[in-house]
Amino acid sequence: MKQILTITLLLLSILCFGQDYKLFNASSQKVYTNFPVPDSTFSIAFDSAALVGTDSVYYNFTQPGMIITSQNCQFWGGPQCTKQDRQTWLGARIMYNNASIYNFFTLDGEMLSFDFSVSGEDSTLFFENQAEKFYITFEKADTLTVLNYADSVRIYTIIHTDASGSTINSTLNGEQIIVAKTLGLIQFLQVDAFPGILNPVYLIGNVSPDLGLAKLTNEILYEHSVGDEIQIRDYLNYNYPSSDNHERYIKYTFRSKTVTMDSISYQADRHVFDKGSSTSTNDIVELTYLRNEIITKLPYDYLKPEYYLATRKLYMNDYCGLNLWTYSVNQDRGLRYCSDENCWGSNDVPGPPPTEETIYTIGLGIFNNLYSDHAIATPPTSGYTLSQSVIYFKKNSISCGSEAILGIEENNPKRILLRVYPNPAEDFITIETSVTKESSVSINNLHGQEIYKQHLSDKLTRIDISNLKRGFYLVKLTTENSVLVEKIILE
């Protein structure tokens, strides 16, 4: 991150001594989601804080933005790098005057000014332009249980009007802003593109006290019930003939669950067979996980300053009507980080960089783990693809995916696999399919117009979608005998 501004001991003592209806302090870490329908997540984790006069100023953690010429870092192909300077959903910075006034600055320099000392039926204006106005009105003080934590709260209502005072029935009009004595900001709104984007958000995770989705642990991730089923495709293929190459299917049916202070264990029936095989093995196994082992923790949705670029996202995904939180990590070894310039640039690797992606789904475990080391010789003499992915599961009596059956060949159209991930996506998607012969993949908009098409030569194909507009698209797999379609969201 950028060089941390000087934080005086006085500031730390002021900001970290309890909340007392403050929205946050310098060390706050929180995560929010869209209200009322959860979708993606929005984290709070400040890059730095400082005293400016008598005001406390918070600078949000940042994301890659403009391209600069690096003075201290030499990257592969030139001195240019991508500066980590684009602010997040809370805007560019926040100023607090220690008298209940919070000024939020959007990325366009607009200011939202909230006076949380308002009481009774008074309303205060927090934003206006030539076309519209936004107010908050104090509604009531109450006690509210948030993330199983009882806290005293102050509740405000948002009023949205046009310039003449007539109500505008927008997504924010009538919504609430909730501030708690200990937890701080409970319910709020997206700031960075305000008022172009009117998006209410609410708290789903908090650090200190640790509540909700403050971190993802094995206990949260591997939450199975008796009777649940999961089938995993275990795939290894070297880019040359090898006795280690395999494509096998492993199915677990959970029989019992045991929880101790330290671990969570499942007894499960296991059914294993290789593709094209006429035989299988069946046994009973114990699956044990350390309950408090941390997979990741807040903040989820920003790029951390590691040597390689790693994009992290926590979002809600639809699995056949079952909505589950999904966490994805995409590693890009073709980029590296320079702390001196706080920027990302090209990394010199021998040939195309490997593809690395892991997707975790709460309640299912690791949903997909992909590593592909691309060949750099013709014919290829190196490189391999390793993939372990859930292709079928039954959870809460809901079945999702296509179960692989012993002895069923891939050319049976009922057994063809099509998986597209991540979903939602941003810059790239991976197409995973069980067939390549006489098959192609295309991307179409919701009007049926074909935007992209490619013939398949591998069972894992990565496609650059960074030039497409945000919205919904259809990914269509066309084979010799069938057509399969998956809907994706581009963010």
| pLDDT range class, residue 15, cuts 50, 70, 90 | very low
- Is the predicted pLDDT of residue 413 greater than 60, yes or no? no
With beta carbons less than 8 A apart as the criterion, state whether 307 and 337 touch: yes
13 phi/psi in degrees, rounded to 5 = -65, -35
- Mean pLDDT computed over every residue of the chain: 85
With beta carbons less than 8 A apart as the criterion, state whether 475 and 443 touch: yes
Residue count (the chain): 491
Q: Residue 14 in 3-state DSSP?
A: helix
Using CA atoms, how far residue 113 sits from 19, 64, 100, 372, 427, in Å, is 20, 27, 10, 49, 35
Per CATH, is 412-491 categorized as 2.60.40.1930? yes
Locus of tokens 């949380």: 116
CB atoms within 10 A of CB 227: 12
Using one digit for the tens of pLDDT, what is the confidence trace for 195-207?
999 999 999 999 9
- Is the predicted pLDDT of residue 285 greater than 90, yes or no? yes
pLDDT at 10 (0 to 100): 36
**Quick one: average pLDDT of 477-483?**
76
pLDDT at 481 (0 to 100): 67
What is the full DSSP assignment across 341-363?
TTEEEE---SSSPPEEEEEEETT
**Quick one: average pLDDT of 240-246?**
88
- For the chain, the structural domain boundaries read 9-208, 221-289, 412-491
pLDDT at 132 (0 to 100): 97
CB atoms within 10 A of CB 114: 22
